[in-house]
A and B are shown apart, each in its own frame.
Chain A
């Protein structure tokens, strides 16, 4: 199994997710779950077979992390749908997953089998998978914020705010796991748990930024729309942490987190 097969799995998965999204619009929730989960299964089969054929977890390169991201988005969409029955969430998660799949198809950043010794650790998979899940959940929260700020505008309900809060809580919890697993791993791999490496600095920024949202939302008298803007800004900072620093002059050559492609 290699990347040349990706397109077949991706097309089937996206079609199934599309069917699921359509079923959700039509209020056929059983079909929505069935199709979305089937799509996830197909996609996960590709991830697993990549894992087997590479003889290492497919987590090293940007292309590989996008693979997990496109897997987690419909999964998170499905969880949100099951809890709050939002018809449109599956459409959004499908479209977003499709964007990342397209990036992988057109700019694959294909990768060798090699895994440098620094990455050969039991911490590697949990650290990255947990982070990708956090990013997907926080992506869903961002979509909620955009929807409430620009589409629903003044008719936003209290329940929609609550969904967004819940997504941020779950996302932040997983982000905390990712960050602290990273710290525990760094102690074993590099001798210190926190070195203010550019990736770590931006991870701290992102983490604090979501903390601002959470604390601000708990103020009895607060501006809810301003809170949504904080959420959007936090997601921008998260992008900086995820891939932006690869293009940041100040971070060039100083980050131990850049493992190239």
Chain B
């Protein structure tokens, strides 16, 4: 057994070892430097990282003939073990209570903040790299649209959605605003408690609340008057499930004064700006298209020739 290890061609055994090595590296990084500093990976650093990821995988792909490990990474033998690691680590996440942004004083362990746990993050990064490599390989060896289009949509869609959602996370802003009847408000509270000034004012005209016979909420919504920086005004109603989009912000009905109920003179709005959203949506729609293909052509087993890249 020992002798056959690392002897080419590599099998899933080597795939599991590579993943295991990555977990160990992750643990060491976590020990030395602490959790992944996600909040620091904001624009332009995240853009640079995304560009670097793309550039490095393209360069790696171009060097695949000379470097065996790159050819190996673009094979099932590497993909399957990494999926297994991803499942196991995500199960750990599913079984432990998660709290984001653990600070030094809090009770949690590494496992309570899996999203910032280096082994977890590195396994998903390797998954993204493998995805990028198999996409490039497929694009370099197109054979039939029936096989290639679904393949690219599924894999590229997942790659785009995963990477842009993760890298764009620090650029997302989620603010809370308490809008009061008759008072134009332009300040909102960020998650970290900072007050932020918006390029518009929001004035609550009327808070709407309807209840069922048992008193539970049937509908709550805000009639608002929004004045943009340009002076242009918009009158609209913001309902739960029906956000309004203005000046790059999506404005959501978030809450209300629960003690006052229908008599509430305030309404709590949430304002969300997520500049990376279009990229994530391109990924999501590609995956949806890929799923349609999976359903239509699914499982039709052509010759599986995708294991070895050349």
Contact between chains at A192 and B172 (CB < 8 Å):
yes
**A218 lies within 8 A of B165 (CB):** no
Binding site for B on A (CB under 8 A): 112-118, 120-121, 162, 165-166, 168-170, 172-174, 176-177, 180, 183-184, 187-194, 196, 198, 201-202, 204-205, 208-209, 211-212, 215-216, 218-220, 237, 240, 245, 248-251, 254
Q: Do B291 and A118 touch (CB < 8 A)?
A: no
Report B74-105 CB contacts with A as 1/0, cut-off 8 Å: 00110110011011001101111110000000
Partner of B295 from the list A170, A183, A201 (CB cut-off 8 Å) is A170
In the complex, the answer to whether A196 meets B98 with C-beta atoms within 8 Å is yes
A175 to chain B, nearest CB (A): 8
The reply to whether the CB of B242 lies closer than 8 angstroms to some CB of chain A is yes
Q: Is A116 within 8 A of B216, CB to CB?
A: yes
Contact flag A120-B241 (CB < 8 Å), given A208-B90, A215-B83, A218-B304? yes
Cβ–Cβ contact B304 & A208, under 8 A = no
Kindly identify, within residues 262 to 293 of chain B, every residue whose CB is under 8 Å from any CB belonging to chain A.
270, 272, 274, 277, 280, 284, 287-288, 290-292
Decide if B137 is an interface residue (CB 8 Å cutoff). no
Residues of A contacting B243 in the complex (Cβ-Cβ under 8 angstroms): 188, 191
Determine the distance from Cα of A113 to Cα of B218 in the docked complex, in whole angstroms: 11
Closest 5 CB pairs of A and B: A169-B298, A117-B240, A169-B299, A176-B291, A173-B295
A183–B284 CB distance below 8 A = yes
Option from B94, B220, B240 in Cβ contact (under 8 Å) with A189: B240
* Chain A residues positioned under 8 Å from B250 (CB to CB): 191
Task: Report yes or no: A117 in contact with B252, Cβ–Cβ below 8 A.
Answer: no
Q: How far is the CB of A59 from chain B (nearest CB, A)?
A: 15
For B98, give its contact among A165, A184, A202, A254 (CB under 8 Å). Answer: A254
A188 touches B216 (CB 8 A): no
List of B residues within 8 angstroms of A165 by Cβ: 299, 301
* A248→B93 CA distance, assembly (Å): 12
Given A114-B212, A208-B86, A220-B304: A196 in contact with B115 (beta carbons within 8 A): yes
The answer for the CA separation of A176 and B95 in the assembled complex, in Å, is 23
On chain A, the residues within 8 Å of B301 by CB distance are 162, 165
A114 to B212, CA, bound (A): 7
Is B307 among interface residues, defined by CB-CB distance under 8 A? yes
Contact of A250 among B84, B97, B306 (CB under 8 A): B97
Contacts of B299 in A (CB 8 A): 162, 165-166, 168-170
- Alpha-carbon separation in the docked complex, A247 to B277 (Å): 34
Return B246 CB to nearest CB of chain A, in Å. 15
Cα separation A113 to B240 with both chains bound (whole Å): 19
Q: Are B94 and A250 in contact (CB under 8 A)?
A: yes
CB-based contact A215/B241 at 8 Å? no
Question: Who on chain A is nearest to B220 by CB?
Answer: A117
B197 at the interface (CB under 8 A from A): no
Residue pair B298, A173 in contact (C-beta under 8 Å): yes
B294 within 8 A of A: yes
Additional pairs, 10, CB under 8 Å, beyond known A116-B216, A117-B239, A176-B287: A115-B218, A117-B218, A118-B240, A166-B298, A174-B291, A208-B90, A218-B304, A220-B307, A250-B94, A250-B95
A113 touches B86 (CB 8 A): no
B214 within 8 A of A: yes
A168 vs B299: C-alpha distance when bound (angstroms): 8
A184 neighbours in B (Cβ, 8 Å): 284
Is B294 in contact with A254, judged by CB distance below 8 angstroms?
no
Query: For the complex, what is the distance from the CA of A106 to the CA of B217, rounded to whole Å?
Result: 30
Instruction: Assess whether B241 is in contact with A201, with CB atoms less than 8 Å apart.
Output: no
